[in-house]
């Protein structure tokens, strides 16, 4: 199964890079909207499997690993807030886009610059600088643009919160080695999750592939989200009741872990 994820993803990524090089990416754009409803069910496959700009950042990251032993990771206390940066950027530019003041894909957007570069239509010097900057950072920091600046993939990221199929950690088997945290290109703390429900997850499955314990991490059907939230709310309301306080402290803690 791990091999299937690994090989399947590489083949699909390669196909979409070739389509880009052949100038066919604009033709297939309408098909890509199908990845939005798919995200509702199975999570965000667009960023980790389809987007050639993500693939190139990943490739540069692998080249960087040949020279740099330890990749730079965002400290968790910054990551907690920094992971929302691209959503804030999206909200900031949305009124300007709706008012027709700017296009959604502004020239300083490295994602847009990347595509227009392959169209032979790179817009400004500034766009080239931004594109090169993010590609350079990719050598020693995983997917810098995807993590904090990509506003183009938010339509695939947000629906993934309700995903029915997700990455699941078996707490009994897990030995807490934290390799999954280290290999996650989106800086997600997989080692504290029960069922992953993080909208930053791009379904690259690196966590599952690199986990040293068989079946400690898997991809499968999640428990019903509404049932979990109901359980959490119930746990919170009972938390202040002295007779049941002890038991429900445990329940609240495990739910906090589960919805990562
Ligand atoms: S890599 Fe596997 S065993 Fe290690 S912390 Fe993550 S889930 Fe647990
Ligand atoms: S949590 Fe796992 S599947 Fe999701 S982005 Fe991180 S490594 Fe990839």
pLDDT tens string 33-46: 888 889 999 999 99
- How far is residue 166's CA from residue 198's CA, in Å, rounded to a whole number? 10
106 lies in the same domain as 234:
no
The answer to pTM > 0.85 is: no
Q: Residue 65: inside a domain, yes or no?
A: yes
Q: What pLDDT shows up at residue 155? A: 86
Q: Residue 81: inside a domain, yes or no?
A: yes
Q: Residue 92: inside a domain, yes or no?
A: yes
Q: What pLDDT shows up at residue 256? A: 44
Please state, in angstroms and as integers, the Cα–Cα distance from residue 110 to each residue in 50, 63, 120, 132, 133, following that order: 17, 20, 15, 8, 9
> How many angstroms is it from 209 CA to the middle of ligand 2?
10
> Contact, 167 vs 193, CB < 8 A?
yes
Lowest-confidence region among 10-19, 94-103, 148-157, 207-216: 94-103
Is 157 touching ligand 2 by the criterion CB < 6 Å? no
Domain with 246 in it: 225-260
Q: Residue 14: inside a domain, yes or no?
A: yes
Is 186 touching ligand 2 by the criterion CB < 6 Å? yes
Q: Which of 110, 134, 159 is the last residue of a domain?
A: 159
Q: Residue 166: inside a domain, yes or no?
A: no
pLDDT, tens digit (0-9, with 9 covering 90-100), for 46-74: 999 999 889 999 999 999 999 888 889 99
Query: What is the average pLDDT score of the chain?
Result: 82
Answer whether residue 231 shows pLDDT above 60.
yes
Q: What pLDDT shows up at residue 255? A: 41
Q: What pLDDT shows up at residue 105? A: 59
125 lies in the same domain as 238:
no
pLDDT, tens digit (0-9, with 9 covering 90-100), for 180-229: 999 999 999 999 988 998 999 999 999 999 999 999 999 998 876 666 66
Q: What pLDDT shows up at residue 233? A: 67
Contacts of 158 (CB under 8 A, 6+ apart): 39, 199
110 lies in the same domain as 230:
no
Is 46 touching ligand 2 by the criterion CB < 6 Å? no
155 lies in the same domain as 233:
no
Percent of the chain with pLDDT over 90: 45
Nearest-ligand number for the alpha carbon of 167? 2
Q: Residue 199: inside a domain, yes or no?
A: no
Answer whether residue 97 shows pLDDT above 50.
yes
> How many angstroms is it from 181 CA to the middle of ligand 2?
9
- Please provide the DSSP assignment of 39-61 as one string: HHHH---IIIII-HHHHHHHHHH
13 lies in the same domain as 90:
yes
pLDDT, tens digit (0-9, with 9 covering 90-100), for 143-193: 999 999 998 888 899 988 889 999 999 999 999 999 999 999 999 999 998
Q: What pLDDT shows up at residue 258? A: 46
Q: How many domains does the chain have?
A: 2
Q: Residue 173: inside a domain, yes or no?
A: no
Counting other chains too, the contacts that 39-43 makes at CB distance below 8 Å and 24 or more residues apart are 39/156, 39/157, 39/158, 39/159, 39/160, 39/163, 40/159, 40/160, 40/162, 40/163, 40/164, 41/163, 41/164, 41/165, 42/163, 42/164, 42/165, 42/203, 43/160, 43/163, 43/165, 43/166, 43/201, 43/203
Q: What pLDDT shows up at residue 28? A: 75
Q: Residue 51: inside a domain, yes or no?
A: yes
Is 190 touching ligand 1 by the criterion CB < 6 Å? yes
Answer whether residue 92 shows pLDDT above 70.
yes
132 lies in the same domain as 249:
no
């Amino acid at each position: 199964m791990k091999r299937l994820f690994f090989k399947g993803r590489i083949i699909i990524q390669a196909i979409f890079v070739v389509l880009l090089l052949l100038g066919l990416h604009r033709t297939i754009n309408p098909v890509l909207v199908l990845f939005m409803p798919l995200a509702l069910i199975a999570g965000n496959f667009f960023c980790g499997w389809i987007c050639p700009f993500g693939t190139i950042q990943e490739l540069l990251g692998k080249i960087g690993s040949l020279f740099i032993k330890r990749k730079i990771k965002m400290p968790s206390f910054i990551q907690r807030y920094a992971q929302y940066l691209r959503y804030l950027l999206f909200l900031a530019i949305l009124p300007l886009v709706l008012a027709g003041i700017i296009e959604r894909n502004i020239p300083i957007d490295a994602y847009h610059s990347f595509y227009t570069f392959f169209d032979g239509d790179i817009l400004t010097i500034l766009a080239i600088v931004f594109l090169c900057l993010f590609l350079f950072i990719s050598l020693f920091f995983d997917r810098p643009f995807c993590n904090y600046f990509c506003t183009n993939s938010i339509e695939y990221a947000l629906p993934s919160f309700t995903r029915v199929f997700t990455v699941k950690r078996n707490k009994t088997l897990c030995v807490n080695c934290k390799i999954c945290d280290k290999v996650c290109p989106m800086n997600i703390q997989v080692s504290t999750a029960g069922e992953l429900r993080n909208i930053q997850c791009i379904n690259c499955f690196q966590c599952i592939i690199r986990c040293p314990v068989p079946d400690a991490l898997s991809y499968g059907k999640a428990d019903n989200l509404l049932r979990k939230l109901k359980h959490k709310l119930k746990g919170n309301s009972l938390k202040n009741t002295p007779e049941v306080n002890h038991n429900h402290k445990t329940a609240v803690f495990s739910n906090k872990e589960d919805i990562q």
